Amino acid sequence: MTDLGILGPENTYHDIARRRFLPTLSYTFFNSFDDIFKALKDGKISKALVAIKNNTSGRVSDNLDRIKSYGFKVKEQFDLPIHLYLGSKSPNTISGIKKIYSHPMAIKETQKYFSKYHHITFISSASTAGAIDELKHNKDKETAVISSKEAIEKNNLLIISENIEDHSDNTTTFSLIES
C-alpha cells in the first residue's frame, strides 16, 4: 500500500506541498479528487493530501464536504504560499498572448493582474501542472500557462512574468487525511 495519494501530475501544488511537508512518504498521483477519496476509502492508500481552501479564493472543490461525508479524519494541516508564474514555449510578451491554460483557482487568483488584457481567453485545466501538458501539445505560439515556477522550469518553458497572483499573501491550506 502506498503511504499517500495526491493530485497529479508531477509539479502540481499538491506535489510541491508533499515535497515540502511530507518528503519521506511514498506517494501515488491521481487524476482527480474523486479518485483520491475513493482510493483512501478502498484502502489503496493510507493517507491523502488534499487542498481544502485558499485564503484569497475560498474553498477548493468540495474537499471539506468529501472529508466529512466519508468520515475521514484530518491528521494535520499545512499552509503553502502560492506564487503564480506565466510561462510559454516561445519568447513572448503578455500583449502577444491570446490563450492561457491553467487550473480555475489559478485563473481566479490572477484576475486583477489580467484585468487590462481583454484579448486573452482563459482555458480551464485539471491542474496547473496539467495545463503545461495542454500547452506543450498546442502548436499555437500565442499561448501560455499559469503555473508554479517549479513546473515551468522543469518543463523547459520560458517565464514571462512572475508572482502574478493578485495577493502577495496567497496561501493554500492542505489537509493530511486518513480513514
Average pLDDT of span 140-160: 94
Could you tell me the residue ranges of all domains in the chain? Answer: 2-81+170-178, 85-161
pLDDT digit string (tens) for 68-126?
A: 999 999 999 999 999 999 999 988 788 899 999 998 989 999 999 999 999 999 999 98
Q: Count CA atoms within 13 Å of residue 6 on its CB side.
A: 28
Tell me if domain 2-81+170-178 and domain 85-161 are identical in fold: yes
Q: Count CA atoms within 13 Å of residue 150 on its CB side.
A: 15
Q: Please provide the CATH number assigned to the domain covering 2-81+170-178.
A: 3.40.190.10
Mean pLDDT of the chain: 93
pLDDT digit string (tens) for 111-142?
A: 999 999 999 999 999 888 889 988 988 888 89
Residues near 67 by beta carbon (within 8 Å), at least 6 away in sequence? 50, 52, 74, 175, 177
CA–CA distance, 136 with 140 (Å, rounded to integer): 10
Residues near 106 by beta carbon (within 8 Å), at least 6 away in sequence? 84, 128, 146, 147
User: What interhelical angle do 33-41 and 63-70 show, nearest 10?
Assistant: 20
Query: Quick one: pLDDT at residue 9?
Result: 86
pLDDT at 154 over 90: yes
Distances (CA, A) of 132 to 103, 118, 144, 152: 10, 22, 9, 8
Average pLDDT of span 23-41: 95
pLDDT at 61 over 90: no
Query: Quick one: pLDDT at residue 34?
Result: 94
The answer to whether 24 and 85 are in contact (CB under 8 A) is no
Average pLDDT of span 38-65: 92
Average pLDDT of span 5-23: 94
CATH class of the domain defined by 85-161: alpha beta
pLDDT, greater one: 174 or 134: 174
CA–CA distance, 141 with 3 (Å, rounded to integer): 40
